[in-house]
Amino acid sequence: DIQLTQSPSFLSASVGDRVTITCRASQGISSYLAWYQQKPGKAPKVLIYAASTLQSGVPSRFSGSGSGTEFTLTISSLQPEEFATYYCQQHHSYPLTFGGGTKVEIK
């Protein structure tokens, strides 16, 4: 199985901050990585797929980069509604696997 390690696990930030979350894969996955945002009690919402392709309807302040084993999700200017938990997921091979999550909290 491909393991995904996210860092940090927790992040305190203020509105307007630039936020970067990293996801490392245990083996190369090319660009087959997606990022999700999950709010309490809600289903995950996809933000980015194929490492850097913005899902339709997602604000452009979200961006993704990377390939191979190291990936980043960046929020250029954090908004109040974006305090949530973020997960990466590899879609290179079965079993599909998720990172452990990064909780973004209000500083």
Partner 1 sequence: QLQLQESGPGLVKPSETLSLTCSVSGGSISRSSYYWGWIRQPPGKGLEWIGGIYYGGSTYYNPSLKSRVTISVDTSKNQFSLKLNSVTAADTAVYYCARLGDTLTGYYYGDYWGQGTLVTVSS
Is 50 near partner 1 (CB under 8 A)?
Answer: yes
Helix (H, G, I), strand (E, B) or coil at 73: strand
* Nearest residue to 32 via CA among 1, 60, 55, 66: 66
User: Using the rule CB under 8 A, which residue among 26, 55, 67, 76 binds partner 1?
Assistant: 55
Q: In angstroms, give the least distance from the CB of 54 to partner 1.
A: 12
Restricted to residues 58-97, the positions that interact with partner 1 (CB under 8 A) are: 87, 89, 91, 94-97
The one among 32, 62, 71, 86 contacting partner 1 by CB under 8 A: 32
* Separation between Cα atoms, residue 28 and residue 8, nearest integer Å: 21
The answer to whether residue 57 forms part of the interface with partner 1 (CB under 8 A) is no
Q: How many CB atoms sit inside 10 A of residue 19's CB? A: 19
Least distance to partner 1, CB of residue 3, Å = 12
Strand order in the sheet with 19-25: 4-7, 19-25, 70-75, 62-67
Interacting residue ranges for partner 1, rule: CB under 8 A: 1, 32, 34, 36, 42-46, 49-50, 55, 87, 89, 91, 94-101
